[in-house]
Amino acid sequence: MNAEKILVVDDDLNICELLRLYLEKEGYTVVIANDGASAVTMFRDESPSLVLLDIMLPKLDGWQVCREIRKFSDKPIIMLTAKGEVFDRVLGLELGADDYVVKPFDTKEVVARIKAVLRRTAANAADEVKEVHYDKLSINLTNYELKVNGVQIDTPPKEMELIFHLAKNPNRVFTRDQLLDEVWGFDYYGDSRTVDVHVKRLREKLEGVSDKWELRTVWGVGYKFETKD
């Protein structure tokens, strides 16, 4: 049996009860919120292992809920969207969602995605301390700390994961699709501009810090963390 607790956030009571039925059958503990404000409160109170988060919610929408949770937690979030538009998926990724499912969904697919995301989270947690150091730069993925000149810089989880992935593979060029697959951890279809957005934000934090390394664009290909002798 699973010990994980799942927070289901949807204002459709029938969907909530359907998901509760299937998830409890799989051994998960399920808690439910029917609006965005309650979701944030319940997340703090219940400390769930994962959140299934609908976008269209009263009080706070799913984007706002995701943004609020990411201010203090990196627990996995799977977005539920009825639209399935590229814009929705990109925005969810930019805000720190780990996966998304388009409505109407197959409940078995939702369960499979939950299991996959939780497996990935558990594997990451079991790894050794993840830390890389360069001149005037320290990236600790275990504690999600980015330090420049010894000063901690506030950095969202996905930006941390992206810069760590690039920095632990210095001078290797990654395409945008590779980064989406290896950093976000699931097959991604649609506009890959979310990688560009994250790189731009990282550059604002890291530009000009040292002349011994650089977050570089390889035109027509992707990005690399370049080190210099």
Which pLDDT tens digit goes with each residue over 14-30? 999 999 999 999 999 99
Domain boundary among 99, 126, 153: 126
DSSP secondary structure letters along 91-119: HHHHHT--EEEESS--HHHHHHHHHHHHH
Whether residue 20 sits in one domain with residue 106: yes
Whether residue 89 sits in one domain with residue 147: no
The mean pLDDT of 22-49, rounded to a whole number, is 94
Residues in the chain: 229
Whether residue 222 sits in one domain with residue 137: yes
At 199, which amino acid appears?
V
| Token couple for 155 | 């950095």
Model confidence at 1: pLDDT above 50: no
pLDDT at 81: 81
How many structural domains are present in the chain?
Answer: 2
Distance CA 42, CA 105 (A): 25
pLDDT at 117: 86
The DSSP symbol for 183 reads: I
pLDDT at 85: 56
Report the chain's mean pLDDT, rounded to a whole number.
87
Distance CA 202, CA 208 (A): 12
pLDDT at 33: 97
Q: Are 198 and 192 in contact (CB under 8 A)?
A: no
The mean pLDDT of 58-79, rounded to a whole number, is 90
The CATH code of the domain that includes 154 is 1.10.10.10
Distance CA 209, CA 229 (A): 16
Q: Are 166 and 176 in contact (CB under 8 A)?
A: no
Domain that holds residue 47: 5-126
At 127, which amino acid appears?
D
pLDDT at 84: 58
Model confidence at 57: pLDDT above 90: yes
Whether residue 122 sits in one domain with residue 142: no
Q: Are 30 and 23 in contact (CB under 8 A)?
A: yes
Distance CA 174, CA 40 (A): 35
- Report pLDDT digits (tens) over 81-139: 876 555 566 777 777 888 888 888 888 889 988 988 888 777 666 555 688 999 999 99
Which is more confidently placed, 1 or 136?
136
pLDDT at 98: 84
Whether residue 31 sits in one domain with residue 142: no
Whether residue 165 sits in one domain with residue 181: yes
- Report pLDDT digits (tens) over 165-215: 999 999 999 998 888 878 876 555 545 788 899 999 999 999 899 999 999
